Amino acid sequence: MEAMATMASNSTLLLHYSRSGVLPPLPLHPCTAKSTAYHTAPSSFSSSSWTLSMLTTTRTPRRRRRSSCSSSSSSSSSYAACTVRKSTIKCGAINNISESEFDTVVLESERPVLVEFVADWCGPCRLISPSMEWAAQEYGDRLTIVKIDHDANPQLIQKYEVYGLPTLILFKNGQEVPKSRMEGAITKVKLKDYLDVLLDSISVA
């Protein structure tokens, strides 16, 4: 009898709260699952479909939205990659060639070709490298600049009697331009004067 009275009382309360639209003050107990923070209601209210639907409704976890910084970071990476590629193409006017390419690239070229003999262990060669890159861009419409490694191309070193590094030699129509040979480090200003004089002389000739 006591149990029936309790059920009747609970049913009356549920009807009252369902009409008023207010959720009854249920004593909640934490779930045992460690991964959730949801709570369950006492078993005395389990007979009500309304209460059950209210308590068993689970929230669908929202997908993490990408932050704007991640997309902008991706864009920055793409932009950086594009910048590097463009820079490489622009500064890549100086190509490293070997003995097998020398005749085709240098001697058979329709344009004047400035050959720079270098070596990895040569400090002055590294010192003038920025100036040579600048010259390749500045004079790119008037001549071609190539590099030849001293150690990897001994026959060319012997043929053109390269004794110091770096050595610059200008070629035109398959021949070494007279007085175009220069050895040792050179500043950007002197390199400009050197090229201007040589290019003017061969254009007149």
Give all strands (DSSP E) within the chain, no chain letters.
29-30, 39-40, 95-97, 113-118, 144-149, 167-172, 175-176, 182-183
Q: What is the DSSP letter of 112?
A: -
Asked if 133 contacts 101 with a C-beta cutoff of 8 angstroms, the reply is no
Annotated catalytic residue within 69, 82, 91, 122: 122
Told to judge if 31 belongs to the known catalytic residues of this protein, a careful annotator would answer no
Question: What tokens appear for 92 in the block?
Answer: 């890549």
How many residues are listed for the chain in this entry? 205
Is 125 among the catalytic positions?
A: yes
Q: Which residues make beta-bridge pairs with 182? A: 168
Enzyme catalytic residues: 122, 125
